Amino acid sequence: MTEFLLKYGCNPNQSPSRIFMEDGAALPVEVRNGRPGYINFLDALNSWQLVRELKAAIGLPAAASFKHVSPAGAAVGLPLHGALRQIYRVAGDLPLSPLACAYARARGSDRMSSFGDWIALSDPCDLATALLIQHEVSDGVIAPGYAPEALAILSAKRKGSYAVVQIDPAYRPAPLERKQVFGVTFEQGRNEIAITAALLENVPTKTAKIPAEAVRDLLLSLITLKYTQSNSVCYAADGQTIGVGAGQQSRIHCTRLAGEKADVWRLRQHPKTLALPLRSDLPRAVADTAIDLYVSGNEADVLGEAVWREYFDVRPEGLSAAEKADWLAAADGVALGSDAFFPFGDNVERAARSGVRYIAQPGGSVRDDQVIAAADRLGIAMAFTGARLFHH
């Protein structure tokens, strides 16, 4: 296949639309089911690069959940404990492969943002992973292959229209890339920087030790940022993203947005949240909305008569501001990556409120000394990578 005709471009009025190789070569992708669109392919090709790099760097199967050309979540295939199985909506008796664990983590990182996502898998999709994808609202998936039983399950989604794309894992693009904006062609060298532990060796803070688990999570956050619309900041823990702040004009807004998502992820694991009497007839997406409202809003938001009856069998016990603060105060060991330097120490201050103890950022601000001082005051180890990771 040398080209693939699309229904339309970014919007229905943007036709004709297609993907093709300028040199006339065959496309490195094969559509196994459905008809992916323009944005689907943007998500597919960006997310595939992310999971491929993540597996190469960490050595575990990887998955990503993409929306509008930025990751809502990314993860590697570490086992799931009971609370994560519950908040990720994975049945306790369902056997999980490492790839399925990676997908459950990537999707569960930010379930609100992952609604209607594009999925990327570093390894051929197996039955366990397909069984998880089967029950989620999603536009499509890209992987280097599919087990026959997995392909059958995925091809049946969305009344048979679910987009299933297979990519050649051996494909490598040319070192120069081009795109057009307003009729003008841009050309640049591809961002082929290798995200490895060597980037974390320059640690100017008093707290200098970064344990192996934190190195893993910092690498995960930096690789995620490499394919996130800038400005961007990523919080990571336990082999997965827990908050991605993308496409903000101000660095502190990235840090706040990602931190708020990380806090929601943690509050979903609060005992009161786990025990919520959700109505059994709620679709998954509506149940996620109810949980998000419960952990993000104040008690009046969820305990009003009309609201609780919409989502719950009985009126739930409120999660007070004090209970939230106590639960979040116990967070620790979180890693944070930033795609460009922190211009002020306020980013470090906000990150620490969500349990961040390890930071990787390029450095190079005229106020680096202030940022280092903030990290020292909070007992945070911060590496200066020297590598900016803007992505547009």
Q: Show pLDDT as tens, one digit a residue, over the chain (392 residues).
A: 789 999 899 999 999 999 999 888 899 999 999 999 999 999 999 999 999 999 999 999 999 999 999 999 999 999 998 899 999 999 878 889 999 999 999 999 999 999 999 999 999 999 999 999 999 999 999 999 999 999 999 999 999 999 999 999 999 999 999 999 999 999 999 999 999 999 999 999 999 999 999 999 999 999 999 999 999 999 999 999 999 999 999 999 999 999 999 999 999 999 999 999 999 999 999 999 999 989 987 776 667 777 788 899 999 988 999 999 999 999 999 999 999 999 999 999 999 999 999 999 999 999 999 999 999 999 999 999 999 999 99
- Please indicate whether residue 298 is annotated as part of the active site: no
Residue 162 DSSP code: -
Residue 175 tokens, joined: 């070192």
- Please indicate whether residue 231 is annotated as part of the active site: yes
The separation between CA 153 and the C-alpha centre of its own chain, rounded to angstroms, equals 24
Q: How many CB atoms lie within 10 A of CB 350?
A: 18
Partner residues linked to 141 by β-bridges: 119, 164
Q: Which fold has domain 3-167?
A: Cytidine Deaminase; domain 2 (3.40.140)
pLDDT in the model for residue 307: 79
What single letter denotes the amino acid at residue 210? I
Residue 22 tokens, joined: 């300028």
Residue 222 DSSP code: H
| Cβ pair 66, 80 in contact under 8 A | no
- Rounded Cα distance between 106 and 144, Å, is 18
Sign of CA dihedral 110, 158, 45, 9: negative
- Left, alpha or beta for 263 (phi > 0: left; psi -120 to 50: alpha)? alpha
CA dist 18 to 32, 47, 141, Å?
Answer: 17, 19, 19
- Rounded Cα distance between 35 and 40, Å, is 9
Q: How many CB atoms lie within 10 A of CB 194?
A: 11
From the candidates 231, 261, 270, 347, give the one annotated as an active-site residue: 231
pLDDT in the model for residue 300: 67
pLDDT in the model for residue 297: 78
From the candidates 68, 206, 253, 391, give the one annotated as an active-site residue: 68
Task: State the pairing for strand pair 138-143/117-121.
Answer: parallel
Q: To 5 degrees, how large is the angle CA 197–CA 176–CA 164?
A: 75
**H or E stretch including 346?**
helix 346-352
In CATH, what number does 176-266+328-384 get?
Answer: 3.40.140.20
pLDDT in the model for residue 309: 87
Residue 344 DSSP code: S
From the candidates 55, 67, 157, 270, give the one annotated as an active-site residue: 67
Residue 120 tokens, joined: 């990327």
| Residue range(s) occupied by CATH 3.40.140.20 in the chain | 3-167, 176-266+328-384
- Please indicate whether residue 67 is annotated as part of the active site: yes
- Rounded Cα distance between 300 and 297, Å, is 8
